[in-house]
Structure 1
Amino acid sequence: MNKKTKFILVAASMSAGKSSLINALLGKELLPAGNEATTAKVARITVGAKAKPSAKAYSHSGSIVASSNTLCAEQMRTWNRSDEVSAFDVVIPHSGSKLHSMLAGYTLIDTPGANNNRDDRHKEQFISAIKAYPKSPILYVLNATQLGTNDDAEIIRTIRDINPRQRIIFALNKVDALDEEKGENAKHYVSLASTYLANLGYYNAKIIPLMAQSALIAKKSLNQIDLGRTERNILRTELERFREHPFHFNSAAAVPQVLKKNVRKRLTKISKGKMTEMSREELHAFVDYTGLSTVSSLIMDVA
């Protein structure tokens, strides 16, 4: 692996949407996603310039047990379930497009959920990954619909106990599932998350409201990948909300003002009705709206 590669660890409790976020950053469904513990191995995913697609699975002793020159979710799912596989490396060629150009030269390290009580190996692998990359920032995914759980607290305390200086970016995922009619708006939940994290020792935490699933669907559309009926309905519904309140999630983000201003500039055209509906320009702006662009910018800022 290139010595100049920058590593980003991605962590979360079960069902927070960690795999969906990684898939959204990549613009394709590479990792299995679901409502259970879908990540059982450490996956190292590199977006490399001048690289060919490749994937290698390693045993617990570190030897290669399988390899492939094609990248597909089914292969990743098979390795993820295999008792023979401890970890796997994936290399995705950098296409030069805007969709994942910001990840070129970065390796995302997908860690198993450390709160899986049915398999202690998950926590062991998570702790090993934290210890192996003490200087690399962590992208931690919180579930907005299950904020303040003991599972998150335990994992975050584990990170702090192992390396109290490790930098963490918090993505507050699934904000699109909040019931705004009941006062469950993004700004309020970012405030709740900020208080929760301060109680765990992380003051003035960087928190980005995020819609990982919607971001992935939009990027799949931009990549000309066919969408299923459910995905088309989700995209249509969220685009309507986006057109009505384009600055909603950006305004709620607890990040440096310069990042918010940069995204806001790109969203201004929507507020003025200057973008054609369902155009590539609008879909790119929608990705900004979901919070994914801010997550990407923060990754580059701290890595």
Structure 2
Amino acid sequence: MLETSQMLKEHPLLGEKSSYKQKYLNVLEYFQKKYAANDLWAKQTFRMYVKTFLGDEKAYQQGDFNNSKRQVLSTKFRPFKFFSYRYCLIFDCIFICAYGEKEKSKKIFNELASMYNDRYKKKIKRVYDSLYDPKVSVSNISQIRYLKSCWDANYSYVKQKPIRVLVTANMSAGKSTLLNALVGKKVNKTQNDACTAKIHRIVNKPYEDGFNYEWDHLLELDADDKTLMEDNVDNHSSEITVGTYFRTIGESSKRVWFVDTPGVNSSQDMEHKQIAEETICETDADLLIYLLNGENIGTDDDRKHLLFILEHYHGKILFVVNKLDRFRKKEDSVERTLQTVISDLTNIGFKNPEVVPVSSYGAYLAKKIIFKETLDEDEQDEYDSMARKMKKPEYQLDVYYPETVRETVKVDEDDEAQQLLLHSGLLHLEKIIYNMR
């Protein structure tokens, strides 16, 4: 369910008076308690409806269901409003209480249908059927077009086979920054934060709904920065899962799962290494990204982990070299570094290793600008410096990707942030990932 986007951003009820929204929520609560009383998704999704409709959970007042039912289901003949919210109610009740459970949805629909006048039965049955049969059209019911488009996007999305991407590295390679850049949001702790020995699964959603989900002992469907950055001490499992829409230029509605393993060379906790290695052996991944620190190539720690990968992982591997944006023109060479990495990997035993560069932090800052997030003073200074630096040919990392990938990446030539994102190499890395299937 963490891959499911909410249907609230343009919900038809948002423009109604608070008193009406209260009554509508009363009806939703009735169905949630009757059909999904112990379902965490249903409970938390209903909370999202309350917060979105009323702005504050404390503003919600439980009411008498029978009175609310009459108010919500009564025909409303207002200017330019040709249909009542009875059709929205079908979508909302089933989305909250029975999404993915067709048999339960039938029971909910039958109870809803029993409340309606007979003259509406045929149309509401068509609305229900449209949830599961794409051949059934409800395009003439304007009020539910947004809800139907959301439902269809979610429904078709989960039918895709997910692209599973393992991400592994030693400490200080910039793995968390790379994942934040790929997602386009800060959902992972950076190296300056204390990290725990847990597997972080980050899953994409079909469209942007404005919400970050986190399953970390508790299910939170509107996780703020504090929730995302702080591990729940009551989570005694080895996993944390985050669900959010991956932001990039163009479409990113591919069903992608990132599996982020702990840094394997932690001097403080050998459990990191054990969990990472077990996950690599047990995960049926479509791609393994091995991230290398471009400032510190050829370490003993990398060699040990690479030998483990060579022996135990037999799928597709992409070696990504990070932090090349920190190079100095007269002291370092991106091209020579990549050649050295290829040579080292070949000597270890990897055949024709695929090696690409990336500036994770540059890409992360560029996406913050593109998606209208405010940079703090330090970030702004770093962004300005990187934007200037990566205009220079020797720091344009995109040229090191295959021509077949480069020709698919298009950005605005006059947009500084998009140019930084282009030259960071991240857009090309995304293309490789999204085109795995």
Q: For this structure pair, what is the TM-score category when the shorter chain's length is used for normalisation?
A: 0.7 to 0.9
Counting only pairs closer than 5 Å after superposition, residues 96-175 of structure 1 correspond to structure 2 as 98-99=248-249, 101-102=251-252, 104-163=254-313, 165-175=314-324
Paired with 2:346 and 2:194, the residues of 1 have a C-alpha distance of 27
Partner of 2:59: none
The offset of 1:245, in angstroms, is 2.6
1:218 to 358, 366, 387: 366
The offset of 1:144, in angstroms, is 0.4
SS in 2 for 1:76: helix
Cα deviations by residue, 1:36-94 (Å, 9 ceiling, x for unpaired) = 7735310111111167642112xxxxxxx222112334323321777734211111146
Q: Specify the code of the residue in structure 1 equivalent to 2:435.
A: D
Counting only pairs closer than 5 Å after superposition, residues 170-185 of structure 1 correspond to structure 2 as 170-182=319-331, 184-185=332-333
Count of residue correspondences? 278
Maintained 8 Å contact 2:176/2:189: yes
Maintained 8 Å contact 1:37/1:116: no
Partner of 2:385: 237
Does residue 1:198 correspond to 2:346, yes or no? yes
Paired with 1:99 and 1:122, the residues of 2 have a C-alpha distance of 34
CA 1:186–1:116: 2 relative to 1, 3 Å: same
Partner of 1:291: 425
Paired with 1:55 and 1:19, the residues of 2 have a C-alpha distance of 16
Pick the structure with greater CA Rg: 2
The offset of 1:98, in angstroms, is 4.2
Maintained 8 Å contact 2:187/2:229: no
Maintained 8 Å contact 2:325/2:395: no
Partner of 1:62: none
Percent identity between matched residues is 24
Paired with 1:80 and 1:202, the residues of 2 have a C-alpha distance of 39
Counting only pairs closer than 5 Å after superposition, residues 10-25 of structure 1 correspond to structure 2 as 10-25=167-182
The offset of 1:104, in angstroms, is 3.2
Paired with 2:395 and 2:404, the residues of 1 have a C-alpha distance of 15
CA 1:82–1:168: 2 relative to 1, 3 Å: farther
Paired with 1:67 and 1:213, the residues of 2 have a C-alpha distance of 29
Does residue 1:79 correspond to 2:79, yes or no? no
Instruction: Please report the RMSD computed on the Cα atoms of aligned residues, expressed in angstroms.
Output: 2.5
Maintained 8 Å contact 1:140/1:170: yes
Partner of 1:60: none
Paired with 2:292 and 2:194, the residues of 1 have a C-alpha distance of 15
Paired with 1:161 and 1:291, the residues of 2 have a C-alpha distance of 29
SS in 2 for 1:114: coil
The offset of 1:186, in angstroms, is 0.8
- TM-score, with structure 1 as normaliser: 0.83
Does residue 1:46 correspond to 2:203, yes or no? yes
Maintained 8 Å contact 1:37/1:113: no
Maintained 8 Å contact 1:115/1:151: yes
Paired with 2:369 and 2:396, the residues of 1 have a C-alpha distance of 23
Maintained 8 Å contact 1:41/1:80: no
Q: Specify the code of the residue in structure 2 equivalent to 1:257.
A: E
SS in 2 for 1:79: coil
Partner of 2:143: none
Paired with 1:160 and 1:285, the residues of 2 have a C-alpha distance of 36
Paired with 2:254 and 2:378, the residues of 1 have a C-alpha distance of 31
Paired with 1:100 and 1:216, the residues of 2 have a C-alpha distance of 16
Cα deviations by residue, 1:181-221 (Å, 9 ceiling, x for unpaired) = 12x12111111111111122223222222110111011011
- TM-score, with structure 2 as normaliser: 0.59
Paired with 1:126 and 1:150, the residues of 2 have a C-alpha distance of 18
Paired with 2:248 and 2:235, the residues of 1 have a C-alpha distance of 37
Partner of 2:73: none
Q: Structure 1: give runs of 5+ residues left out of the alignment.
A: 58-64, 276-280
SS in 1 for 2:384: helix
Q: Structure 2: give runs of 5+ residues left out of the alignment.
A: 2-157
Does residue 1:88 correspond to 2:236, yes or no? no
Q: Specify the code of the residue in structure 2 equivalent to 1:300.
A: Y
Partner of 1:30: 187
Maintained 8 Å contact 2:163/2:257: yes
The offset of 1:246, in angstroms, is 8.0
Paired with 2:352 and 2:232, the residues of 1 have a C-alpha distance of 36
Cα deviations by residue, 1:257-285 (Å, 9 ceiling, x for unpaired) = 3123444xx47x85xxxx2xxxxx33223
SS in 1 for 2:292: strand
